[in-house]
Amino acid sequence: MQKIYNISILLSFIGLWITSYLSGTTEIILGFILIFSFGMLHGSNDVLLINTISKTQHKSALIKILSIYLLTVFSAVVIFYYLPLIALILFIIFSAFHFGEQHWENKNLNLPKSVYNIFYFIYGLLVLQTLFILNTKEVIEIVNSIANYNITDTLINYSFIITLITYLIFNVYLIINNFKSLLVVFFTELFYFVVFAVIFKVSTLIWGFTIYFIFWHSIPSLFEQVSFIYEDFNKKTIIKYCMNAFPYWIISLAGISIVYYFFKDDKMFYGIFFSFIAAVTFPHALVINKMFLHKKSTIK
């Protein structure tokens, strides 16, 4: 996995270099292209993941998981329509945990399961809030567009400070209890956050999110998924994964294209766009969590 993150660092600096040549509008367009390609691809094989997880289980278990998945998608759409502010908060919570779990799952932190989950959430939330605090104006506009709620600079700033302090306390605890194995990890993660902060600062909100979402989340997630489904990661298994994901990717792309056609000139577009992403994120986060739990149970 470290090789994947080394590639992520290289691609991040390329993304940073690109920002010096592109206008804000072009960054946003390129960001959407990457999100709709690699980003959407990494979440398009949830059905295949569910099937793989359920191979050793009864057929009723597969039906149960699929039912929960579809119910989660439907619930996300309904909540965003009737309670957009609540849905937005849930989206941030789910995304934070999902990002943190993907990043830390392969590291042996030697923690109880419940503490693991809290740490995943705090890490992912800190990444998102670093993005938010360095793009405050855009965040305020998008929250207003989605939920018709005027979030303040003060709330963004204090939320970031509280999350940062909590994350540092976790790291101090981890280092004290696992000094030799985690001290290097701590400084490595600190370097990663410096990279994130620089990119988020010089980029638009969309481009900054894209760089993290694609290079630091989607690509490592694709590696994990391909390895889990096919028990190997090579050119052949990558092609198989893409072929299986293609129909679902096309359906998702068609859906967002229709949304763009009707709302491209509407101030609600960003709100609808993030609502669409959230409706897919909720069940995807649950499936990936199931995948990691399944891997742990098989190792035992």
- Position 268 scores a pLDDT of 58
pLDDT tens-digit readout, 233-251: 998 999 998 888 887 778 7
CA distance 108 to 38: 28
Reported residue count of the chain is: 300
Mean pLDDT of all residues in the chain? 82
CA distance 147 to 13: 34
pLDDT tens-digit readout, 144-189: 877 888 999 999 999 999 999 999 998 888 888 776 667 788 888 8
Residue type, 29: I
58: left (phi over 0), alpha (psi -120 to 50) or beta: beta
CA distance 40 to 37: 6
With beta carbons less than 8 A apart as the criterion, state whether 145 and 80 touch: no
- Position 158 scores a pLDDT of 96
123 has pLDDT over 90 = yes
- Position 96 scores a pLDDT of 93
pLDDT tens-digit readout, 51-104: 777 765 555 655 666 677 677 767 776 777 788 888 888 889 988 999 999 999
Q: Please report which residue ranges of 20-58 form alpha helices under DSSP H.
A: 24-34, 40-41, 46-53
Residue type, 89: I
20 has pLDDT over 70 = yes
Query: What letters, b where the CB count within 10 A reaches 16 and e where it falls short, cover 85-106?
Result: eebbebbbebbbbbbbbbbbbe
With beta carbons less than 8 A apart as the criterion, state whether 37 and 31 touch: no
